[in-house]
């Protein structure tokens, strides 16, 4: 229910119900996206995903500054000799934790953008080729598709799908045709054609080749759209924001 506080056991129960079913990947992805991003804190709030009341992030060998802080705290607590954490006020530890969390987010963003650019550069010579993929995100403006072979992410603008208006059905995580009721849902397997590559932006634009399925007819198979769409270079207005990243 809206406003209800979710507990780790409830998420685990949901994941258990779809294990080894066709919906497992999609549900796992949705559950993961619904979680708040982890962050370092001076207070020990435990670990939601692991359902632990007390938790400390620590790896060996030490790879992160957070590991070093915990390592020095253990030296101090267990009286193991030099190198112990000094008597640092809690507010200073909170500031350190905030800086570490911010640095980690920057590193993740840099890594993601680097991978996107490298993959886009790799696919730059394959414009016009067709690929199998899976719908990995659904927004009002279009579909995100992850290619099965390379893991590349690209965008299909809603305005280029079929010959009817597609509305965003948030409850079903789908784009639904206003006349036909045909839907493209999160997790659907689709075939796409690569139309445009922007290596410096790490962006790919696809044309969808598969038709969707009726929301009422869950077992319907996808069909190929007859003939390619107009593959002229799109206007700036039509492609503006197609690099937009899903959550």
Domain positions in the chain: 65-113, 127-239
Mean pLDDT of 172-190: 91
Residue 72 has pLDDT above 50, yes or no: yes
Model confidence at 127, pLDDT cuts 50, 70, 90, reads: very high
| 43 closest CA partner among 112, 102, 90, 100 | 90
User: Other CB atoms closer than 10 Å to residue 205's CB: what's the count?
Assistant: 23
pLDDT for position 4: 64
Segment among 5-14, 87-96, 177-186, 221-230 with least mean pLDDT: 221-230
DSSP 210: B
| Residue 239 near residue 203, CB atoms below 8 Å | no
Segment among 106-110, 150-154, 228-232, 243-247 with least mean pLDDT: 228-232
Tokens of 224: 């190929």
Tokens of 81: 């000799």
Mean pLDDT, all residues of the chain: 83
| 212 closest CA partner among 202, 203, 220, 200 | 220
Tokens of 219: 């077992």
Residue 188 has pLDDT above 80, yes or no: yes
pLDDT for position 3: 58
R_g of the chain computed on alpha carbons? 23
pLDDT for position 215: 72
User: 1 versus 189: which is more confidently predicted?
Assistant: 189
For 31-53, how does the pLDDT look when each residue is reduced to its tens digit (9 = 90+)?
777 777 788 898 888 888 777 88
| Residue 109 near residue 127, CB atoms below 8 Å | no
pLDDT for position 62: 77
CA distances from 122 to 5, 133, 153, 187, 197 (A): 44, 17, 13, 25, 10
Domain 127-239 class in CATH: mainly beta
| Residue 52 near residue 46, CB atoms below 8 Å | yes
Residue 229 has pLDDT above 50, yes or no: no
Tokens of 227: 């003939």
Residue 202 has pLDDT above 60, yes or no: yes
Model confidence at 20, pLDDT cuts 50, 70, 90, reads: confident
pLDDT for position 131: 97
pLDDT for position 138: 94
pLDDT for position 239: 41
What is the model's pTM?
A: 0.71
| Residue 137 near residue 244, CB atoms below 8 Å | no
CA distances from 124 to 115, 127, 131, 206 (A): 14, 6, 14, 13
Q: What percent of the chain clears pLDDT 90, i.e. is strictly above it?
A: 46
């Amino acid at each position: 229910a809206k406003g209800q506080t979710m507990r780790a056991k409830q998420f685990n129960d949901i994941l258990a119900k779809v294990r080894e079913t066709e919906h497992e990947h999609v549900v796992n992805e949705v559950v993961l996206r619904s979680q708040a991003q982890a962050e370092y804190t001076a207070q020990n709030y435990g670990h939601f995903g692991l359902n632990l009341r007390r938790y400390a992030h620590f790896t060996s060998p030490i790879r992160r500054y957070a590991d070093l802080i915990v390592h020095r705290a253990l030296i101090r607590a267990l009286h193991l000799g030099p190198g112990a954490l000094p008597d640092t006020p809690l507010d200073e530890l909170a500031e350190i934790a905030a800086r570490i969390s911010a640095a980690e987010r920057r590193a993740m963003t840099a890594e993601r953008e680097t991978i996107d650019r490298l993959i886009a550069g790799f696919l730059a010579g394959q414009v016009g080729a067709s690929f199998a993929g899976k719908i990995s995100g659904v927004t009002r403006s279009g579909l995100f598709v992850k290619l099965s072979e390379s893991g590349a992410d690209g965008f299909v603008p809603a305005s280029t799908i079929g010959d009817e208006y597609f509305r965003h059905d948030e409850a079903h995580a789908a784009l639904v045709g206003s006349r036909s009721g045909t839907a493209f849902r999160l997790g659907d397997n689709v075939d796409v054609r690569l139309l445009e590559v922007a290596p410096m932006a790490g962006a790919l634009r696809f044309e969808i080749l598969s038709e969707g399925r009726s929301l009422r007819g869950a077992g319907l198979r996808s069909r190929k759209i007859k003939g390619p769409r107009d593959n002229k270079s799109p206007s700036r207005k039509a492609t503006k924001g197609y690099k937009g990243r899903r959550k």
